[in-house]
Structure 1
């Protein structure tokens, strides 16, 4: 899925009581079939950006276009092509792992031939198959995140928006399974956008990196091009991030 963000701004609060600019005139383009890491400190705007793309947060100004069509909360057809996973996943009340996944698929009307086998395969990949009939509320934090990720995989969305997957509490099996799933999705043409504060992860696991600072895009490109742009030849993303942070906006 192609994504274009055009001068997106989100302001919280009212002028008389004080305002916070969470997103400041952001413009970005994602041509599709790529893995993008959104990097930034706490409060940089990472979550607000993801929530704006899925329609949870209404922007103050600007627009989002998906495959050339203007996105809005009312566009249910476009929303069904997006899967969003917050850092603290939400679940249907009093459900087992399998029931939650089934209800999630039903909400997207995403049932298809062979889906049951796909779900079992991902449950195995994420080492969650033994918990298939367990109540979600009894799972550990990392296991709950795994269950939410498998539900996301099951709906076969064209745009994944994932908030802090590498700070989710998942064990090594879960993290490896997520990396595998994301790369396979990109090969199918899916656009995968995730946020992280872990620079080493973003450097190793992305096609391009977007660095946000105080709601603004400071830079957005591949690691190789970022090195050239910021004069840090052979340096890592941490060096690039430090250089950008030390440069006035």
Structure 2
């Protein structure tokens, strides 16, 4: 069974259609890269999956749960890392983590174990009682990542995760994503960092103007784009340029 199943999704704002009949799946143990230019519809896809933007048409399912029929059960199984960190100025790092744990029903022992692991990985233990207004953008991004990986969803939705992260934090983050893949979780990652996406993603969706131009592994995309040894950037340039 697919973890996330999108069928014939059309969506937009004020009845202006941005997505047109988009279909794809996120499988267990898979990192799926969502690639496309600005305005292609990536944000609309993410907002539709998160339940922020009701779809004009189509179906969104997480395992057996349909977002329209079982929104709470659906959303329990998603963790989201946004492009722009969203933190509360009046809450410390610890309070952000405690709030996340409480919201997702983590018991104290599990919470403390995972919290300490994440604090060590991202080297923020000494910031536990600090407020976000003293954090750099990269540190704020680390807090968002820690909150998302504190609990145990089925699918991680990750939007431009590398913005603001230093090289060490980027490597640590990629290592965590790979561990989640090995544990059978699904990852939908939207990014413009194509060289990194090429190294870590199992499959890709190339979207432009609300339509999926191509989907598949690197080998499948190379055949489709007729570029035998091309990089993901080469494929992107060929397919997006040809469709504009």
Equivalent residue of 1:202, what SS?
A: helix
Which residue number corresponds to residue 248 of structure 1? 243
Which of 120, 124, 128 is the matching residue for 2:124? Answer: 128
1:32 to 28, 35, 39: 28
C-alpha displacement of 1:113: 3.3
Structure 1 spans left out of the alignment, 5+ residues: none
Structure-1 separation of matches of 2:25 and 2:170: 27
- Offset of residue 46 of structure 1: 1.2
Q: Displacement of 1:199 after TM fit?
A: 1.6
> What is the aligned partner in structure 2 of residue 89 from structure 1?
85
More displaced stretch, 147-156 vs 117-126: 117-126
Which residue does the alignment assign to 1:224? 219
Which string of whole-angstrom CA distances, capped at 9 and with x for unpartnered residues, describes residues 156-207 of structure 1? Answer: 111100110022x011221111101100011111101110112212211201
Q: Secondary structure at the match of 2:38?
A: coil
Q: Is it true that 1:56 corresponds to 2:52 in the alignment?
A: yes
SS of residue paired to 2:188 = strand
Cα offset, 1:120, TM superposition: 1.2
Offset of residue 139 of structure 1: 0.6
Structure 1 residue 74 displacement after superposition: 5.2
> CA offset at residue 211 of structure 1?
0.8
* Residue 99 of structure 2 corresponds to residue 103 of structure 1: yes
Partner of 2:142: 146
Tell me by how many angstroms 1:112 deviates.
5.6
Q: What is residue 7 of structure 1 aligned with on the other side?
A: 8
1:61 and 1:216 map into 2 onto residues whose CA distance is 14
2:181 to 178, 186, 197: 186
**What TM-score, normalized to structure 1?**
0.92
Give the superposition deviation at 1:101: 0.8
- Of stretches 73-82 and 98-107 in structure 1, the one that deviates more from structure 2 is 73-82
Equivalent residue runs for 1:73-84 within 5 Å: 75-84=71-80
Task: Compute the TM-score of the two structures, normalised by the length of structure 2.
Answer: 0.93
Instruction: State whether residues 85 and 144 of structure 2, in contact with CA within 8 Å, keep that contact through their aligned partners in structure 1.
Output: yes
Residue aligning to 1:164: 160
Partner of 1:201: 196
Distance in 1 between residues matched to 2:61 and 2:238, nearest whole Å: 32
* 1:106–1:177 distance in 2 versus 1, CA, 3 Å: same
Asked whether the equivalents of residues 110 and 156 of structure 1 are also in contact (C-alpha less than 8 Å), the reply is no
What is the rounded CA distance, in whole Å, between the counterparts of 2:196 and 2:23 in structure 1?
A: 24
Q: Cα RMSD between the aligned structures?
A: 1.7
User: Secondary structure, in 3 states, of the residue corresponding to 2:10?
Assistant: strand
Residues 240 and 151 (structure 1 numbering): CA distance in 2 closer, same or farther, change over 3 Å?
same
Report deviation, 1:114. Answer: 3.5
The reply on whether 1:211 has 2:206 as its aligned counterpart is: yes
